């Protein structure tokens, strides 16, 4: 197992922060592009970039001077900042929130009845929901799943140094995560690789795997649920 670096981040001067923010702007734009398809219906690109920049600043202040491990650390914090903002921006009218809950309940019921993942046509027949409302549901549900996955898969070693978990806890968590990832089938592992290592958007992943965007969203949620079950045992 890799040795964890629990060093305390040094305090950067305002000039250093400004310089590093400027040099790491391409990472901000890359993460924004990756997530824009999921959250553009709630946040425009300019707002996303501002939130992402704050995520980068937080990463710098927690990490200190960037090194070869900083990119993955910062990408996680930038994604997390955007997804957390999306979660807090649940300003949709109560009627739309109720519709989302209704669609979610219908998908679960249809899944049990049909013995497979329901498609839009199944939900449309069952509820008469429009394609636009269904797409909005998928986008927001997918963003929520990504936020959970980021929390499960993140390797925030510096944040871990600030909490009270012991080394034994960390070893157990790492072992559980390895078992969870090994339980995924080949396509599910490919989705994680394309998203986290190649930093592709879900729309791009759909093209690579010859799937619809809606199907990739459903698979992404299934991946999160599979991994979560290992931590609930």
Q: What are the pLDDT digits (tens) for 56-72?
A: 999 999 888 898 889 88
Residue 124 lies in a domain: no
Residue 161 lies in a domain: yes
Residue 117 lies in a domain: no
Query: Based on the structure, what is the number of domains in the chain?
Result: 1
The boundaries of the domain holding residue 177 are: 14-91+130-232
**Token digits for 98?**
């109720």
- Tell me the mean pLDDT in the region 113-129: 86
Distance in angstroms (rounded) separating the CA atoms of residues 117 and 102: 16
Looking at residue 57, its pLDDT comes to 93
Rounded to 10 degrees, the C-alpha dihedral 90/153/218/187 comes to: 160
Residue 33 lies in a domain: yes
% of residues, the chain, pLDDT over 70: 77
Residue 3 lies in a domain: no
CA distance to 66, 86, 121, 221, per residue, from 210 (Å): 37, 28, 19, 18
Query: What pTM value is reported for the model?
Result: 0.58
Distance in angstroms (rounded) separating the CA atoms of residues 169 and 89: 34
Residue 111 lies in a domain: no
Residue 109 lies in a domain: no
Residue 176 lies in a domain: yes
């Amino acid at each position: 197992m890799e040795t964890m670096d629990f060093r305390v981040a040094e305090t950067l001067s305002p000039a250093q922060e400004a310089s590093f923010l400027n040099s790491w702007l391409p990472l901000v734009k890359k993460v924004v592009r990756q997530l824009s398809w999921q959250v553009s219906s709630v946040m425009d690109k300019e707002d996303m970039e501002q939130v992402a920049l704050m995520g980068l600043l937080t990463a710098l202040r927690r990490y200190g001077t960037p090194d070869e491990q900083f990119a993955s650390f910062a990408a996680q914090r930038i994604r997390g900042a955007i997804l957390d903002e999306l979660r807090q921006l649940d300003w949709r009218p109560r009627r739309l929130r109720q519709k989302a809950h209704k669609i979610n309940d219908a998908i679960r019921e249809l899944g049990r009845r049909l013995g497979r993942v329901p498609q839009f046509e199944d939900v449309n027949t069952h509820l008469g929901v429009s394609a636009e409302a269904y797409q909005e549901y998928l986008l927001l549900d997918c963003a929520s799943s990504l936020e959970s996955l980021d929390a499960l898969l993140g390797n925030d070693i510096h944040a871990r140094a600030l909490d009270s978990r012991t080394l034994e806890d960390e070893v157990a968590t790492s072992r559980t995560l390895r078992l969870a990832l090994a339980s995924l089938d080949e396509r599910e592992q490919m989705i994680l690789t394309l998203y986290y290592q190649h930093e592709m958007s879900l729309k791009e992943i759909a093209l690579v795997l010859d799937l619809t965007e809606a199907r990739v969203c459903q698979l992404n949620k299934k991946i999160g649920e599979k991994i979560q079950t290992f931590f609930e045992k």
